[in-house]
Amino acid sequence: MSAGPTKSEEVRETRKIADLKPSRYGDTVNDQAVDCEPSTEDIARALREGRLETRHYHDETLLPEWKANARSIEEWGRLVRDYHARRIAYLVANKCDDPISVKKSGFITDGNHRIRAVAFRGLTEIQVRVID
């Protein structure tokens, strides 16, 4: 009789997108919270204009780019929000359906851009990798 998967085994299952809990995109600049969450229209505009972002959020070129171009906290938020819209648009256009990683509770640990992309495409369920 099996006791269930070991830590080295991966548990995959299908979950409803509405039950998952992505992290909200935000940043802190000079101790001030900055909202960086793109709207559905921001994503649609990036798709229409073909502005698709291939770089991952932790790409070492992004931070220097934002620092060089942001003249204010508001501009910083706009640049980061625009990055997220372009990244999600890329994943929508390229139909990246790699499983996201979630905790049993539904909190997303890896795949916040991907979950927004599949939701934008109108899907209601997604394959997830459950960790805990």
Question: Distance from CA of residue 4 to its chain's centroid?
Answer: 30
Residue 34 has pLDDT above 60, yes or no: yes
Q: What is the mean pLDDT of residues 105-112?
A: 94
Place of tokens 């073909």: 50
> Which pTM was predicted?
0.88
What strand order describes the sheet that includes 100-103? Answer: 11-16, 125-131, 100-103, 108-110
Residue percentage of the chain with pLDDT more than 90 = 80
